[in-house]
Structures are given as C-alpha cells and as structure tokens.
C-alpha cells in the first residue's frame, strides 16, 4: 500500500491533462519545481555547512542525485523534501523562493525577545551579534549537543 501525500502539480506550457485520464488519484513519480530551485537548494546546503555528499546522505540520496537536483537536471521527490525539512532546510524557500514568514506576529516569545534585544543594540554591536548567531547556527547544523559542559565529568 502506498502512502499518499498532498502535492502541488505545476504544468508548464507544453503539458496538459489529457481528457482520457481518470480523475482517480494517481501516484506521481516526478514533480516539476520552480526555476532556480537548484540554486536555492545549494544555498540551503551551504547555509548548513555541508558538502553535496554529506547533504545527500542525510537526505537519503547519492552525491550524484544531489548534484542533479542542484543542477535542475532532475526533480526531487516528496520523501527527499520531507527529509530536507527534518534537516532544518527551508523547503518552502527551495521550492518557491519565499522564505518562511519571519513576521513579528509569527515569532515565539523567545524569538521576539531576541529580536527586541538585537534592535536595542548599537549598529556596531549588531554586526558582532549577527556573526556570533551565524556561527552558532552553523555549529548547530554540524554538531550534536549532548547537554554536557566542559566542567561535567564523564
């Protein structure tokens, strides 16, 4: 039995829905995605600090398949996109070019507090804060935090 996931099917000017096709659900093996999605996928991979091989392994594909997705010579399937979501990739951005909303109303109280403190900093301190947060985010994508500090004994 197949799992069914909702998806958006985009037809380009060369495609059409033949009249003799059934209206019954069909298993779609290939999905066409928006232009420049490969470039945005590479941006997200770079943001996480991973090479094509390591990124592909985490997403369940080979380096060659990962390269094909980034070159847009092949389109990813739903399982791959779900794996990306679990890795912290902004899948909405990869597919559409629009980032997940960062409107103040959509922020958690912790996020809103950080933003408020950041906005109170002088411009010169904001640069340092941004570098520090970027470095922490990059480290979070590469390392597993066990909850131990350097002072904890094994």
**Homologous superfamily, domain 1-100:** lambda repressor-like DNA-binding domains (1.10.260.40)
C-alpha span between 140 and 47 (Å, rounded): 11
Question: 91 is written with which tokens?
Answer: 């899948």
Give the global pTM: 0.50
Beta carbons of 41 and 70 less than 8 angstroms apart: yes
Q: Return the structure tokens found at 81.
A: 């996109």
What are the sequence ranges of the domains in the chain? Answer: 1-100, 104-142
Q: What is the pLDDT of residues 83-133, one digit of tens each?
A: 998 888 888 889 888 776 656 567 778 887 888 888 888 888 888 888 888
Q: Residues 84-110, buried b or exposed e (16+ Cβ, 10 A)? A: beeeebbbebbbeeeeeeeeeeeeeee
């Amino acid at each position: 039995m197949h799992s069914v996931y909702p998806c958006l099917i985009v037809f380009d000017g060369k495609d059409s829905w033949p009249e003799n096709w059934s209206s019954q659900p069909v298993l779609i093996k290939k999905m066409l995605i928006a232009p420049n999605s490969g470039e945005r996928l590479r941006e997200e991979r770079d943001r996480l600090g991973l090479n094509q091989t390591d990124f592909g392994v985490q997403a369940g594909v080979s380096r060659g398949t990962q390269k094909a997705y980034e070159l847009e010579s092949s389109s990813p399937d739903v399982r791959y996109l779900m794996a990306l979501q679990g890795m912290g990739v902004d899948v909405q951005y990869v597919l559409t070019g629009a980032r997940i909303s960062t409107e103040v109303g959509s922020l958690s109280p912790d996020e809103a507090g950080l933003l408020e403190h950041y906005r109170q900093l002088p411009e010169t301190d904001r640069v340092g804060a941004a570098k520090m947060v970027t470095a922490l985010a990059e480290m979070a994508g590469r390392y597993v935090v066990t909850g131990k500090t350097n002072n904890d004994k094994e």
